[in-house]
Amino acid sequence: MAQSSTIVALEHIKLFNYLDDLSEVKVASISILVFDYFLTLELEIKYIWSTKWSTLSLMFLFTRYLPFVESSVLLYRIFTPGLSTETCNQVYKVNALLILVGIVVAEIILSQRTWAVWGRNKIVGIGLIIFWFSATIPAIPVIVLFSGTAKFVDPPYHPFRGCFLQGGSRILSIEWILLMIYDGGLLTLMAVQALRTLTIGNETFLKAFFTSSRPGELLKPILKDGILYYFYLFVLSALNVVVIRAMPIDYLNLLTMLERVIHAILTCRVVLHIRDSARTEAYHDSLNECYLSGSSMQFSSTFQSTHVV
């Protein structure tokens, strides 16, 4: 009898530790989202709300604010007491769908930016479209299949806040592998363009990359942020795959919300930083028109005017 009580006590300790780990990571992710929102709110008001709206503006707002909806759904699932397993399943599926849609829209923004850096090259554009569909279409059945395997059970004790996820399929890793491959492709395109841009006026690319002198000022948000941001997203996806494949099944979603938040934050910063640079650099009218009106993506003249190789 004493041994049985000890086992139960140990299981409860394990359960509490598991729930604390997941909750802390998710709440920390939401805190990062809120913190960055207020950090960049001034830029958003200046370059989104105070300018003529375009398709890019709408995609930005969708990418910017959808994570707050996802966070609300997540907090409801974590902290609401007495949820039935059926309710948990439905809420979980809604959250998974929102995350998928949000990432897909954000990748369109990042893809447009990569295409713009390549001067709207037709071959690159067609390649990106094919690449995007190749990564997006398989992701839909993967998320549907995974959502179907997510198993919620009645909590082992009462009162219990939130949903008790017992496990699910590791097929979820395919979702992040697809994203990792896609972001890796965008990273490669940005890196190749950076290597082609070996001289900017009288400056080397590396000097323009790390300094704030004028010829390099426009290049920095185009290439520096692009390369670094895509690299961060690639690494996050790789970490997510490792967690899903190597850690206990209970930790399938350990980094999901963190990656979703970082993905949205970096995508929105891409738009804001380029609009900020375009506004302050009067001699780059083509870039300004591209990101302020969203009507064109003509970067070729920009690179030509700066002696791009």
Give tens-digit pLDDT for 225-268. 778 888 999 999 999 999 999 988 777 888 899 999 999 999 99
Is the pLDDT higher at 294 or at 101? 101
Report which secondary-structure segment, H or E, holds 260. Answer: helix 256-280
Q: Is the pLDDT of residue 221 over 90?
A: no
Q: How far is 125 from 131, CA to CA, in rounded Å?
A: 10
Burial of residue 267 (number of CB atoms within 10 Å: 0-12, 13-18, 19+): buried
Cis peptide before 159 (omega within 30 of 0): yes
Residue 295 has a pLDDT of: 41
Structure tokens at 221: 């948000």
Q: Which residue has the tokens 């001289």?
A: 199
Range in 20-24, 115-119, 175-179, 258-262 the model is least confident about:
20-24
Residue 13 has a pLDDT of: 38
Q: At 51, is the secondary structure helix, strand, or coil? A: coil
Residue 212 has a pLDDT of: 46
Q: What share of the chain is helix, strand, coil (3-state, %, to 5)?
A: 80, 5, 20
Quickly state the pLDDT bin for 220 (edges 50, 70, 90).
low
Strand ranges inside 131-172, DSSP E: 151-152, 165-167
Report which secondary-structure segment, H or E, holds 203. Answer: strand 203-204
Quickly state the pLDDT bin for 211 (edges 50, 70, 90).
low
Quickly state the pLDDT bin for 219 (edges 50, 70, 90).
low
273-299 burial code (b ≥16 CB/10 A, e <16): bbbbbbbebeebebbbebbbebeebeb
Residue 197 has a pLDDT of: 67
Quickly state the pLDDT bin for 284 (edges 50, 70, 90).
very low
Q: In this structure, which long-range contacts are made by residues 159-164, counting pairs with CB atoms below 8 Å and at least 24 apart in sequence?
A: 159/81, 159/82, 160/81, 160/82, 161/78, 161/79, 161/80, 161/81, 162/19, 162/77, 162/78, 162/79, 162/80, 162/81, 162/83, 163/77, 163/78, 163/83, 163/85, 163/87, 163/88, 163/91, 163/92, 164/88
